[in-house]
Amino acid sequence: MKYKRVLLKLSGEALMGDRQYGIDPQRLAEYAQQIKEIHDKGIQIAIVIGGGNIFRGVAGASNGMDRVQGDYMGMLATVINGMALQGALEDAGMQTRLQTALKIEAIAEPYIKRKAVRHLEKNRIVIFGAGTGNPYFTTDTAAVLRGVEVNADVILKGTRVDGIYTADPEKDASAVKYDTLTFEDVLSKGLNVMDTTAFTLSQENELPIIVFDMNKNGNLVKICEGEPIGTTVNV
């Protein structure tokens, strides 16, 4: 296996499947199976999941809601998704722990780095909920932050597209995919990989990012075996 410990970032929207809102149990079960494949190979797995399928602070603010209030609602949305994913992973036979950046003691442990690492060492899957715990941040930033904190080897950003393109492939048919990029390339070409805060944190800590299609079964395990799936951003 190329990686020993990975931080998997899943967007909330990916959990919708073909729905307009919420969580598709079928999609959740498929993700659990993909995650099981790498778990069975002994890879330590931490997961950050977004909340965009339920609530986004910016969307709330554009409808007149206080931004900070909306962002906390978004963070709670990530906890709901984390609980759903936790259930699906446990149904598939894996041991998990949910740790949240906001304290919700009845349902999750508070985030404690040392405890998270201990869980990973025991091959428990650790899901980090509630983002960074701060408004005005994103779950991409939470993913890189937690990835750096727990010493992950790589950030695996599972999306609907199979990598980083010269333009948005869903809008521009002539867009071409990159296999590898440096952090500098991404900046100089003005490519959109993650928000700037998340991207800079990854670059400063030399934590590589792989953007790949999580909806294609088998991709996750292939990446961990070292196959060149998706686009890798590295120093």
The reply to whether 156 sits near ligand UDP by the rule CB under 6 A is no
Extended strands (E) in 38-115: 44-49, 96-100, 109-110
β-sheet with 231-234: strand ranges across: 109-110, 96-100, 125-129, 44-49, 5-10, 154-159, 209-213, 231-234, 180-182
Structure token digits, residue 86: 């936790």
Taking residues 34 to 63 in sequence order and writing x for each that binds ligand UDP by CB under 6 A, - otherwise, the string is: ----------------xxx---xxx-----
The reply to whether 22 sits near ligand UDP by the rule CB under 6 A is no
CB of 106 to ligand UDP, least distance (A): 21
Q: Please identify, using beta-carbon distances, which residue of 55 and 183 lies nearer to ligand UDP.
A: 55
Residues 172, 125: Cα–Cα separation, whole Å: 37
The reply to whether 159 sits near ligand UDP by the rule CB under 6 A is no
CB of 227 to ligand UDP, least distance (A): 25
Residues 6+ apart with CB under 8 A from 65: none
Q: Is 52 annotated as a binding residue?
A: yes
Q: Is 12 annotated as a binding residue?
A: yes
Q: Is 212 annotated as a binding residue?
A: no
| Residue indicated by tokens 């590295």 | 234
Question: Measuring CA to CA, which residue among 18, 31, 226 is closest to residue 127?
Answer: 31
The reply to whether 75 sits near ligand UDP by the rule CB under 6 A is yes
Other beta carbons within 10 angstroms of residue 3's beta carbon come to 21
DSSP state of 15: G
CB of 84 to ligand UDP, least distance (A): 13
Q: Is 74 annotated as a binding residue?
A: no
Residues of this chain that interact with ligand UDP (CB under 6 A) are 11-13, 50-52, 56-58, 70-71, 74-75, 77-78, 131-132, 134-135, 137-139, 141-142
- Binding site, residues? 9-12, 51-52, 56, 71, 132-139, 159, 165, 168
